[in-house]
Amino acid sequence: MQPIQFTSETSANGVLERTFTLDDVTGVLFSPASGSDSAPLILMGHGGGLHKKAPGLTARAHQAVRTDGFVVASIDAPGHGDRPRNERDRRWVAELTRARAAGESLAPIVAEFNSSLAERAIPEWRATIDALQMLPEIGAEAPIGYSGMTLASTIGIPLVSVESRITAAVFGGVYAYRELLDAARRITVPIEFLLPWDDTELDRESGLAMFDAFASKDKVLHAFPGGHHQVPTDGRIDTRFFARHLGRVGARSA
């Protein structure tokens, strides 16, 4: 098993950011600058076309580290961020650009493209978990959650359906295509599902069908006005989900 290679380190406002590589995967680990010991680990995925340190993701990661003492790991999806994009992925991106300009539905292209990305990303996330658990500040006992919308849900839903180390997850903003619905039906851990009510690129029915599919008894849907680029940060959808399900560092050490 490959160990993680840390490649850079910065620290600001109590949050340590360390970029890393694992084979050809590039990632970043956010953790309390004061140190952490078996703190809960949140895996955060980024949206399509974005990367491991996208501003929204970084803001959520910093908040999780500062508010709850969590450790957050984020990796670039295949062909995203610091990772080269292959020829087939480039064609999909071109098809998406064309369909968006023509006002056509993106659903069929997104389903095909994201399925292919998910197939490649799932073993990468599992290898990342293996390698993170080898770090002394994380270890094999840290509870693990997964969080991410759009592309990160397309990857995360099949990931969580096969990865029993992930015991709570936040998803949202995804097309309900068949493989994804099938994966959701195999998920039984607590789920929070976010539905942007006015997303121009996603239809409500698709989101509602996804929420319906999860086998989890403990699940909740939060819907809010606006698109998936406008997820509210005013507390409206903040139920302290990971703090309730993975425990806080303070609570765990008691």
172: left (phi over 0), alpha (psi -120 to 50) or beta: left
DSSP 8-state class, residue 92:
H
- Interatomic CA distance for residues 67 and 62, integer angstroms: 8
Least distance between a copy of itself and beta carbon 210 (Å)? 12
Using rule CB under 8 A, residue 232 touches a copy of itself: yes
Distance between start and end Cα atoms, the chain: 34
**Closest CA relative to residue 131, chosen from 39, 40, 25:** 25
- Triad 214, 187, 110: Cα angle to 5°: 70
Backbone angles phi, psi at 25, to 5 degrees: -90, 135
SS3 70: coil
84 contact partners, CB below 8 Å, separation of at least 6: none
Residue from 162, 218, 233, 253 that binds a copy of itself (CB under 8 A)?
218
- Interatomic CA distance for residues 219 and 66, integer angstroms: 26
190-209: contacts with a copy of itself (CB under 8 A)? 192, 195, 197, 204, 208
Residue from 46, 51, 52, 219 that binds a copy of itself (CB under 8 A)?
219
Least distance between a copy of itself and beta carbon 235 (Å)? 5
Least distance between a copy of itself and beta carbon 244 (Å)? 5
Least distance between a copy of itself and beta carbon 245 (Å)? 10
Query: Using CB under 8 A as the criterion, what x/- string covers residues 145-184 for binding a copy of itself?
Result: ----------------------------------------
Using rule CB under 8 A, residue 235 touches a copy of itself: yes
Q: Are strands 144-147 and 71-75 parallel, antiparallel or unpaired?
A: unpaired
Residue 54 or 221: which CB sits closer to a copy of itself? 221
Using rule CB under 8 A, residue 99 touches a copy of itself: no
Using rule CB under 8 A, residue 217 touches a copy of itself: yes
Using rule CB under 8 A, residue 212 touches a copy of itself: yes
> Which residues of the chain form contacts with a copy of itself (CB under 8 A)?
192, 195, 197, 204, 208, 211-212, 217-225, 232, 234-240, 244
